[in-house]
Structure 1
Amino acid sequence: MRIAETVTFGGSALNRAAELRGDSAGMAARMVDPVAGFLPIWRGKPLFDGPEQDGLAWLPPGHSVVAGAEAVFLGLEGDAPRFACDISDWEPAEIPDTLGAFLDPSQQRHPDLPGQEVFAELRAAMTRLTPRDAELAATAKAITGWHESHGFCARCGQPTDIAMSGWQRDCPACGTHHFPRTDPVVIMLITQGNKVLMGRSPHWPEGMYSLLAGFVEPGETIEAAVRREVMEEAGVHVGEVGYLASQPWPFPSSLMFGCRGEALSEKITVDPVEIADAIWVSREEMMDVFAGNSQRLKPAREGAIAHFLIWNWLADRLD
């Protein structure tokens, strides 16, 4: 796909400057550089600049909101270092019931930020961000989430220490090095003739369908994962498989491999343990879905790679 890297969270060419991560003295100097910016993350929510959440809010070095928090080096924007800080220990006046839900609509304001800055759900704001802000936000959310859930050594169980500017955790007890986890997931545009295979999870809103997807297993190729997942979920045999595009998906830490596949049969046998339903949708009906004219189906969420793949299938822009 010629436009593969235009998917949300992809294609901004962020300079991650990995060669600088091990330079402790140099990194300390960059953290007090007046042009440095710090992005606070509160319980998975980035800080946005304004209620429209169309840009990230970068705080200067020494700001009270990030003071004392561990900083993870995200990379360089020109000469300006960019860092992420997890401030999840902060307790706002109210904790909404929707916190941690699939899509949390609540916003939080920090008392030390009297302007328009708000903590908000990235999933809802991702399509309004520039490609660079989207990549930075996805990286910040994923890496801070990894630190939050990997504070102890998987080998000996002892607490670990942050190293390499946030891109490594070291165990002082047994010497094991731990690195950020990324989970590979296949998501597939399975077609037969003029139709595409769609499925839905039981907890999704009524009428919401998307492409089938699943985790790649150890020792498995991407192509094999596509065929296995489609067979497990919908009972459909798949022949030829090809790669189309990828998308970092920090919910919490996946890398989505968008693929296409040719179905060898139309018969669907749903595994209710895997999904709630699967259907074939014609190109004509899918065009109505995306136009908002369907009474039966809702489109895949904008910004997700499923939406991206289906849209480009409708536009005949798949290589």
Structure 2
Amino acid sequence: MQHAEEVTFGGSALDRAAEIRGDAEALERARLDPRARVVLVWRGKPLMEGDDTLSLVRLPMDHPVLGGMAPTVLLGREDGAAVFAADISDWEPEAQDADQVGGFVDTSEQVHPALEEGRSFVELRRVMTQLGPRDAELGATARGLFAWHQSHGFCARCGAASDMALAGWQRLCPACGAHHFPRTDPVVIMLITRGNAALVGRSPGWPEGMYSCLAGFVEPGETIEAAVRREVFEEAGVRVGAVRYLASQPWPFPASLMIGCHGVALSDEIEIDPVEIEDAKWVTREDVAAAMAGELPGLMPARRGAIAQFLLRNWLADRLDTRLG
């Protein structure tokens, strides 16, 4: 797919500096470089600044908010200088609107007293389309890594507490010597079409009227194509024939790689599994175009920035390259 790397969180060509992760001397030189910067994350929210156009804040390594704490994760390099990330989730804001935190959309923002005015911690999903490709990739990488460290503090082999290693890209068990690496779960998300219609569904808890492409985790021993066919049949009772890969999207909420595919339905009768989804239906190109323009009450397209909307928009624009049927 020609436009595959235009998806949010993809296409910034970040130099991840993987060759120095295990080199203590090189890492120390990188930290001491006056051009080095650090990205802050608080409970999964990166530090942002700006109004109409947001940007990810990069602080100098000696900023007071760090309190002398060394950055824990190496994200990569920009213009030859290292970019680290630090998690300050132990900080407790003085006040917080509990009704805004969490849920499908977290509109709360947290302001640290040691930070300059106009800077706050913001939910990445809410603002991802306002960021440039590099800021989006750095924010997603930092969020995903810290979420993994938070949930994988103990060795899966022996249960002992593990230690962060390899500049934050590994956990090492001091008891049994096991090495653990950041987890990414493969998820297929599929644009299933039949003629001029696409299959969409919704999960309980989504905003009223929101529909998206069907999706599901790839199982052990299963190909991407087989996962697409299985998930669509399990959720909607629709059989799928030809399947092909289109694009992928890192989705660090908390740790998925969304594998976008296009499949051609062999049947159009829908029989949903209410345990899997709340509803599913066929929508025409005209329906989707109207919904994206806000002109079709009762049908809200997938979240902006998510690969589901990316796939639907490219389908509308006839930019899926080779057609399957």
TM-score (norm 2): 0.96
Question: Is the CA contact (8 Å cut-off) linking 2:104 and 2:206 kept in structure 1?
Answer: no
Residues 53 and 94 of structure 1: is their aligned pair in 2 closer, same or farther, counting only changes over 3 Å?
farther
Shift of 1:28: 1.5
What is the Cα-based RMSD across aligned positions, in Å?
1.1
Q: Contact 1:182–1:254 at 8 Å: present in 2 too?
A: yes
Q: Is the 8 A contact 1:223 1:242 kept in 2?
A: yes
* Structure 2 equivalent of residue 242 of structure 1: 244
Q: Which deviates the most, 60-69 or 148-157?
A: 60-69
Question: How much has 1:9 moved relative to structure 2?
Answer: 0.3
Q: C-alpha separation between the residues in 2 aligned to 1:57 and 1:114?
A: 11
Structure 2: which 5+ residue stretches go unaligned? none
2:307 to 305, 308, 314: 305
Matches within 5 A, 1:66-105: 66=66, 67-68=68-69, 70-97=71-98, 98-105=100-107
> Take 1:144 and 1:252, find their aligned partners in 2: how far apart are those partners?
10
Residues 257-296 of structure 1 mapped to structure 2, 5 A cutoff? 257-296=259-298
Matched, 1:195 2:197: yes
Name structure 1 gaps, 5 residues minimum. none
What percent identity do the matched residue pairs reach? 63
Matches within 5 A, 1:2-21: 2-21=2-21
Contact 1:201 1:276 in 2 (8 A): yes
Spell out the pairing of 1:107-256 with structure 2 (5 A cutoff): 107-256=109-258
CA contact (8 A) 1:53 1:125 kept: no
Are 1:197 and 1:278, in contact at CA under 8 Å, matched by a contact in 2?
yes
- Name the SS of the counterpart of 2:109 in structure 1: coil
**Residue range with higher mean Cα deviation, 196-205 or 87-96:** 87-96
Match of 2:25 in 1: 25
> Which is worse superposed, 28-37 or 143-152?
28-37
Matched letter for residue 159 of structure 1:
A
Q: Return the offset for 1:52.
A: 4.6
Aligned pair count? 319
Instruction: Identify if the C-alpha distance between structure 1 residues 13 and 318 changes in structure 2 by more than 3 Å, giving closer, same or farther.
Output: same
* TM-score normalised to structure 1 length: 0.98
Distance across 2 between alignment mates of 1:72 and 1:204: 33
